[in-house]
Structure 1
Amino acid sequence: MSEIEFRGYSESPVILDKYSKEIDSALYKAISLDNVTLLNMMRYHIGWVDKHGQFGKPSQGKGLRSSLCVFSCESVGGKPENALPIAAAIELIHNFSLIHDDIQDGDLERRHKPTVWVNWGKPKALQAGNVMRVLADMTPKDYLSVEENFERVSRCSLILTTACLDMIEGQYLDLYFEGRTDIDTSKYLEMVSRKTGALIRCSMQLGAIVGNADHVTIDAMAQCGKYMGNIFQIRDDYLGIWGREEYTGKAVGNDIRKKKNSLPIVFATERSNPDDRKLLQDVYLQDQIEDYDVNRVISLLDNVNAKGYVQDIAEQEATLALESLKHAKMAEEFREDIKELITFLLYRES
């Protein structure tokens, strides 16, 4: 594997900014309901309105998956606007999963504001997530207005649905792993490739299909997306323990309190001496983890240089992501854009 340097970290990668307005418009069109309460819940979660349904300063997410879909389409010679219906569907699936994740994890805040279930209760939040998922199935029909090839539209819908199932299976594995002490790196990476990688992989794959790329390029885009999903989740794991609260909105060591078997914990379990391994297991077997125990676990992670290991693994995945595009047919300017985005994913603070 060749050495690739990742420098020039930007907080606003071109890919995340370039298509944001068009994706927003497509997403706004996709979220259309007569039920005002459900409509406002979804708009609130995405970041368009406050809990009273009033428009104000947006507080949206990165739009990574939808942006990658449109980027992938344009980078292989397609018209970016043709990918917007599929990109909106991807964004709906991602956001439905976040609403449900917040309920499962009991998270009180997302993007520095109360989560949907905190404002409206768990039953209504579940329904809002469910509606988003259904709307995601309906949105690709708009692709028919620009692509009369029904077979291609059906293929895109099947790939998207399969990726959603893969993502949900990964989320289940993540929950199943909580509190367990027998998870190794291979099991962790399998979970990550589904939980986070499936939808990002699908985003780039579908963009290339909409852009009418050849099979080699479509496969290369999918592979790149898989590795980018791994990078994203590995960095999330890093931030879940060492991230600064002013950026993440969560306390240092938050994933330890949740007994998450994130990559730093898996690595420490494999590399620690028997006494430290027992300490880690004892902490994770407690009903509730207090600050004192969080600090002890962080100290244990420092002893095996888990922070450095996690970053090294992320950089290895970044190299694989770029190398996977070696045979993809795309202009050099787009290769530079994807490298900039990968660098952002490697070093982001939130």
Structure 2
Amino acid sequence: MTRPATIRDLVAPYVPDIEAAMRRYVPPIEGEGAAMFGMLHYHLGWADETFRPARQPTGKRVRAALVLMSAEGLGVPRERALPAAAAVELVHEFSLIHDDIEDGDRERRHRPTLWTLWGVPQAINAGDALFAIAHRALFGLADVGVPAERVVHAAHRFSETMVALCRGQHQDMAFETRLDVTPDEYRAMIAGKTGVLLGLAAELGAIIAGLPDDDRARYRRFGERLGRAFQIQDDLLGLWGETHQTGKPVGNDIRKRKKSLPVLLALAHPGPDAESLRALYARETPLTDADVERALAIIEQTGARKAAEAEMHAAYAEAEQMLDEVAVQYGEHAVEQLRHLVRLLQHRTE
């Protein structure tokens, strides 16, 4: 069997079922709520600005696919895990609607964001609706034969994760006005913003399969480590990613003064280089290309780039270790797709 060459190749066999499941729970554009549901269809890439059906750019659906990979590896039929996969993807999309408002982002996936078209109040409301729909999708597990106690446990973990997700976003926004953010504070923040949702996605498959607590925790830790590695890799790509692959200029995160892990590691380095970088970040005027080059050079000189790369590789290795432990108990077939995912993510360039 030929192994998938890209993340999209790996996820592609899952996407039609994921999309169909999401559409089952998101109401059609009709009736009294047509305008609000039209906004959701637009955000999800199913409609254009006039709410006409259209194929627009969507997310990769990696989080939803992770639910299915975990469940199917443990012998759960796909249809039994699809409500949870849809719930994870829908709540991720809810978080993007609110992120766009909170960050002031005017575009997502090369299209205007919801708030720029219909205003902040309506976008908040649409996001709230999607949050509720995601919970309704999760309770759809009961309709496909998942035992009630597993559905309740899944809902409990889902709600815990939402609180952690909001806490991570709170920390992220608080960091915007601070120049004294530490690397440890940043690690805690990304655990909430990225790690917990991937941890939930992996764990939900194990919950549906009825695994005991210790084994469910291994799946959760696998997803959390994967999320940490993924975010640090994003940080590195945001500084040194190739423009033709990321679609953004080299050093784009410096221009936006993002406090990513390599930047914070450099700022924590003793000596004049860190102070020079701090001064660039404190400047109120836009940074020039020369400023960006200087900042990138400082991050390299302090060893922060290599340190961040080492953390990323360590997190991927820890994720693989969790899979090794699962394989001992349930066989290599249980984690085969998850291993493919880890290895493809390690080599992504966008």
Q: Is the 8 A contact 1:15 1:341 kept in 2?
A: yes
Could you tell me how far 1:344 is from its partner in structure 2? 2.3
Q: Is the 8 A contact 2:45 2:54 kept in 1?
A: no
Q: Trace 1:24-39 onto structure 2 (pairs within 5 A).
A: 24-32=19-27, 34=31, 35-39=33-37
The corresponding residue for 2:288 is 291
Aligned with 2:272 (options 267, 275, 278): 275
Q: 3-state SS of the aligned residue for 1:19?
A: helix
The corresponding residue for 1:3 is none
Aligned with 1:197 (options 195, 198, 205): 195
Is it true that 1:349 corresponds to 2:349 in the alignment? yes
Q: 3-state SS of the aligned residue for 1:160?
A: helix
Matches of 1:291 and 1:9 in 2, distance apart? 41
The corresponding residue for 1:96 is 94
Question: CA-to-partner distance for each residue in 1:190-245, whole Å, 9 max, x for gaps?
Answer: 11111110111011111111122233321111110010110111112112222334
Aligned with 1:62 (options 50, 60, 63): 60
Could you tell me how far 1:288 is from its partner in structure 2? 4.2
Could you tell me how far 1:13 is from its partner in structure 2? 5.5
Matches of 2:111 and 2:242 in 1, distance apart? 17
The corresponding residue for 2:17 is 22
From the superposition, tell whether residues 325 and 130 of structure 1 become closer, same or farther in structure 2 (CA, over 3 Å): same
Matches of 1:31 and 1:146 in 2, distance apart? 18
Could you tell me how far 1:334 is from its partner in structure 2? 4.5
Q: Is the 8 A contact 1:15 1:338 kept in 2?
A: no
Q: 3-state SS of the aligned residue for 1:53?
A: coil
Matches of 2:241 and 2:9 in 1, distance apart? 24
The corresponding residue for 1:4 is none
Q: Is the 8 A contact 1:13 1:340 kept in 2?
A: no
**Aligned residues with identical type, % of pairs:** 33
CA RMSD after TM alignment: 2.1
Please, which moves more after superposition, 27-36 or 155-164? 27-36
From the superposition, tell whether residues 166 and 208 of structure 1 become closer, same or farther in structure 2 (CA, over 3 Å): same
TM-score normalised per structure 1? 0.90
Task: Specify the code of the residue in structure 2 equivalent to 1:227.
Answer: R
Q: Is the 8 A contact 2:83 2:138 kept in 1?
A: yes
Matches of 1:20 and 1:157 in 2, distance apart? 23
Matches of 2:345 and 2:224 in 1, distance apart? 13
Q: 3-state SS of the aligned residue for 1:251?
A: coil
Q: Is the 8 A contact 1:99 1:126 kept in 2?
A: yes
